[in-house]
Amino acid sequence: MSPTELEQVGGRRSGPSTMAALEDLLNNTLDPGYRAAAIRSRSTSGWDRLLVWTACGAVGLLLAMSYQQTHRGAPAAEVARQDLISRIRAVQASGDALDTTAQQLSDDVAQLRDRQLAGSSSIDLTQLEVASGTVAVSGPGISVALGEPEQATQSADPARPGRTPQATVAVLHDTDIRAVVNQLWSAGAEAISVNGIRLTTNSAIRFAGEAVLVDFQQINAPYTIEAVGSKDGLLTSFADSSIARKLKTEQAVYGIAFSFQGKSKLTLSSVTVSEPRFAELGAGPPSSQAKPSTPRPTESPK
3-state secondary structure of 28: coil
pTM for this model (two decimals): 0.54
- pLDDT tens digits, 128-180: 777 777 778 889 999 999 999 986 434 444 444 444 444 456 789 899 999 99
Q: Which residues 6+ apart lie within 8 Å of 296 measured at CB?
A: none
Q: Which residues 6+ apart lie within 8 Å of 191 measured at CB?
A: 130, 133, 137, 198, 199, 227, 228, 229, 268
- pLDDT tens digits, 221-266: 899 999 999 999 999 999 999 999 999 999 999 999 999 999 999 9
**What are the DSSP E strand ranges found in 12-126?**
12-13
SS3 of the chain: helix, strand, coil, percent, to 5: 50, 15, 35
- pLDDT tens digits, 79-137: 888 888 888 989 888 888 888 888 788 777 777 776 766 655 555 677 777 777 777 88
Name the residue ranges covered by the structural domains of the chain: 135-150+169-268
pLDDT reported for residue 152: 45
135-150+169-268: which CATH topology?
Alpha-Beta Plaits (3.30.70)
Contact (CB, 8 A) for 254 and 149? yes
pLDDT reported for residue 135: 78
- pLDDT tens digits, 40-68: 665 555 667 778 888 888 888 888 888 77
pLDDT reported for residue 281: 73
3-state secondary structure of 19: helix
